[in-house]
Structure 1
Amino acid sequence: MRSLASIVLGFESIVLALATIVMISVAGVDPSTALPLCLGLAVLAVVAAGLLRNRVGYALGWIVQVGAIGLGFVVPVMFVLGLAFGGFWVAAIVLGRRIDEAKAAQQAQSG
């Protein structure tokens, strides 16, 4: 589960960092708003990916997802990106648990 979740957070951090540029140059958002919001979430996503060995990392991951969706209130297209990454996050958690359970069952059978 951890590897899938870290992949989602890694890609999301890149998208959030690039969204900063788009928000400033295309959407006309003030840099004093866009920089802390987007880059803050991007850094939080990287920190969350690094902490996925603990429950804290997953809690931070959920906060990143809520924040990414919340960026839609600043630039509406971010609702779409936020919901997409939220879906990827949920899929990573659900599928990751299934993979972990299958690995545990296979190890129990062979060991």
Structure 2
Amino acid sequence: MKMFMLKCILLVSILFIGVLMGMEKANEGMHNLKGQDAGLESPLSIKKDSGGDVEASVLGKDVSSSDIETKKKQLQEMKTFNFFSSIGKSLADSIRSLMEKLVNLIASLI
């Protein structure tokens, strides 16, 4: 019995080390496949000025807070209709009202 347990523990540990080595090899292969170099810039960079202003660039394009505000206003003005969103809201409202009625019914019985 002791030899069996020793063999099992040895086999599991060898397999575990093999899995870890395989994961590391796959990681290296993914980096080679992507062609990542150490000299590439990150897609998102955020910098703070001495005055406390924050400058951000996404994929090399500068982004400011005023751009974000104008886009937010544009999205609010569009008022697009989403069929699935309206179905979800009506379903949630009906379930909420059903549960409220059920709770009120149970509370009246108690």
Alignment TM-score, normalising by the size of structure 2: 0.27
Which protein, 1 or 2, shows the higher relative CO under an 8 Å CA cutoff with sep ≥ 6? 1
Alignment TM-score, normalising by the size of structure 1: 0.27
Bigger strand share: 2
Larger radius of gyration: 2
Greater share of helix: 1
